Amino acid sequence: MPSTIEKPLGHLQRHIEELKASLALPAYESAAGKQSQILGHFLSRALQMSEASNLICRAKLGTPLFVLTRVLCEDLFLCQWVSLSENNAAEYSSAVISGGAKMIGVLLRKDRGQIVDRSTREVKTDEFMPHLDNFKADRVHIEQLAGRLVLSKVYDLVYRPFSMEVHGKVFGLPSTSEQEPLYAALSAIVSLVKSIGLIADNRVLRNQTTKPDEILHVLRLDQIAGK
């Protein structure tokens, strides 16, 4: 593995240990509030994706590394939003339930399954369907959310270009070397993981809000022009 990749891999390993240490703290392990529980969830996801990124990068697999970068970027937006208020945490939780209810509704309408009364074995799908409306919630649109969080730079410069790989739309794009994409993705992952850890720890451990400028600084986007 070239030394250019080993350096960010070393940084990533350090963040992995920091994430493990934070998640072992009572504030996360025994969190009672919904906001802290959700932030712990995102911290755990960041840990898993960090460890996966380490393995994937050492295997020189660019595509999955780009995919994980994009996922971490979306988690960053959601993590920052949830960290701002308990109301946001409750809205996020409702959106998760709503998404599950929507999926179930689609499957039932397409006859992919049925709702059956356990005692009588009667099919109750038609009676059940209206109850799914109780779980409807506004969908969180990531681009709009990034704008509200004053993190549009992150959306435009990280989330948007890395989404091309996720959707299989990079055929024929030039690269000067095999290592260049790996280094770019790994460097972004290191900064995203560090940002997610900062956001979660600031709220859960210090009861502080992480400012957009702090996040942009960690991601090294603060010196780029535009909002």
> Does 178 map to a domain?
yes
Rounded percentage of the chain residues whose pLDDT exceeds 90 = 59
Q: Which domain holds residue 61?
A: 3-87+141-218
3-state DSSP of 171-223? CCCCCCCCHHHHHHHHHHHHHHHHHHHHHHHHHHCCCCCCCHHHHHHHCCCCC
**N-term to C-term CA, the chain:** 37
- Of 218, 167, 168, nearest to 193 by C-alpha is 218
Band the pLDDT of 116: cuts 50, 70, 90: confident
> Does 18 map to a domain?
yes
Is residue 117 pLDDT above 70, yes or no? Answer: yes
> Does 116 map to a domain?
no
> Does 17 map to a domain?
yes
Q: What is the pLDDT of residues 142-175, one digit of tens each?
A: 999 999 999 999 999 999 988 888 888 776 665 5
CA separation for the pair 135, 208 (Å, rounded) = 31
Is residue 3 pLDDT above 90, yes or no? Answer: no
> Does 133 map to a domain?
no
pLDDT number for residue 195: 98
> Does 68 map to a domain?
yes
pLDDT number for residue 175: 56
**Do the beta carbons of residue 76 and residue 161 sit within 8 Å?**
no
Site of tokens 């994937």: 56
Crossing angle (nearest 10°) for helices 34-58 and 179-204: 160
For residues 138 and 72, which has the higher predicted lDDT (pLDDT)? 72
Q: What total number of domains does the chain contain?
A: 1
pLDDT number for residue 54: 95
Is residue 217 pLDDT above 90, yes or no? Answer: yes
> Does 173 map to a domain?
yes
> Does 50 map to a domain?
yes
pLDDT number for residue 174: 53
Q: What is the mean pLDDT of the chain?
A: 89
Find all residues with CB under 8 Å of 225, minimum gap 6, and list them.
none
Lookup: tokens for 126 = 């038609």
Mean per-residue pLDDT for 2-14? Answer: 84
Least confident of 38-42, 57-61, 103-107, 204-208: 103-107
pLDDT number for residue 53: 96
Query: Which pTM value belongs to this model?
Result: 0.87
In this structure, the dihedral spanned by the alpha carbons of residues 71, 145, 134 and 124, taken in order and rounded to 10 degrees, is -30
Q: What is the pLDDT of residues 11-68, one digit of tens each?
A: 999 999 999 999 999 999 999 999 999 999 999 999 999 999 999 999 989 889 999 9
CA separation for the pair 178, 185 (Å, rounded) = 12
Band the pLDDT of 176: cuts 50, 70, 90: very low
For residues 81 and 60, which has the higher predicted lDDT (pLDDT)? 81
Site of tokens 């709220």: 203
84-121 burial: b if 16+ Cβ within 10 Å, else e = beeebbebbbeeeebeebeebbeebeeeeeeeeeeeee
